[in-house]
Amino acid sequence: MFSRFSTSRVDRINAWLSGCQTDYLDTCWQVKHGTWALAAGGVFGVGLGNSKAKWSWLPEADNDFIFAVIGEELGLIGAVVVLFLFVVLAVGFLRVVQASPDMFSRIVTSAIMVWVLSQALVNIAVILGVLPVLGVPLPLISSGGSSLIMTLAALGIVLSIARAAHVAEPEPALVAPGRVR
C-alpha cells in the first residue's frame, strides 16, 4: 500500500495505525513522550522552563513537538490559550476576506488562512496522536527558520490586503454634519 514512500515514513504510518502498541523504542518514541509531556503538565503546567521532556526525551521538541512542551510547561490552560490565539487569527483572516475589495484579495487571503491554520491543526493533531508523525512545524511558534520566514511573509501579504481594504472604505464622519474639519 505504501510502496512509494520511504521506509521511515511507512514505519511511522504503520506504527500510528497499530496504535503504537508494537514498537515503543523506535517509531513511537516521539508520540509516547509527547503524550506524556502533555499529561505531565496537568491543568496549570510545571512552569516555564521546567519541562523535562525537552531535555533529550522528546526529539525535535523545539520544532515539531513544541505544542507538547507548551502543554507540559503551561498546562491545559496554556494549550487552550495557544488554540484560542489560532482562533483569533482565523477570525482576523475572515474579517480581511469579508472586507477585501476584489476577488483576487479574497482568494489570496483565504488560501493563506487555509495554509496557516491547517498547518497548525496538523501539528496539534500529531501531538495528540490523531495523525502520524509528519514533521510539520507549528506556525509562528516552532523554531524553524524557513517556515517562520514564509509564514511571516504570507501574513505580511494579508496585512497589505487588509490595509488596502481599509483605505478603500470611506472614513466615518468625525464631526457633526455641517461643520468643517
Output the pLDDT for position 36: 85
> For residue 156, what is its C-alpha cell?
505580511
Output the pTM of the full model: 0.82
Residue 101: partners with Cβ closer than 8 Å, 6 or more residues away? 164, 165, 168
C-alpha distances in Å from residue 145, one per residue of 120, 142, 152: 16, 9, 11
> For residue 85, what is its C-alpha cell?
490565539
DSSP 22-83: S-SSSTTHHHHHHHHHHHHHTTT-S-TT--STTTTTSTTTTTTTHHHHHHHHHHHHHHHHHH
Question: What ranges do the domains of the chain cover?
Answer: 7-167
Rounded to the nearest integer, the mean pLDDT of the chain is: 85
The CA distance from 62 to 54, in Å, is: 8
- pLDDT: which is higher, 169 or 5: 5
Residue 177: partners with Cβ closer than 8 Å, 6 or more residues away? none
Output the pLDDT for position 86: 97
> What are the pLDDT digits (tens) for 83-126?
999 999 999 999 999 999 899 999 999 999 999 999 999 999 99
The CA distance from 62 to 158, in Å, is: 27
**Lowest-pLDDT choice from 14-23, 72-81, 107-116:** 14-23
Collapse the DSSP code of 94 into the 3-class scheme (helix H, G, I; strand E, B; otherwise coil) and give the result: helix
> For residue 52, what is its C-alpha cell?
523535562
> For residue 177, what is its C-alpha cell?
454634519
> What are the pLDDT digits (tens) for 156-168?
999 999 998 876 6
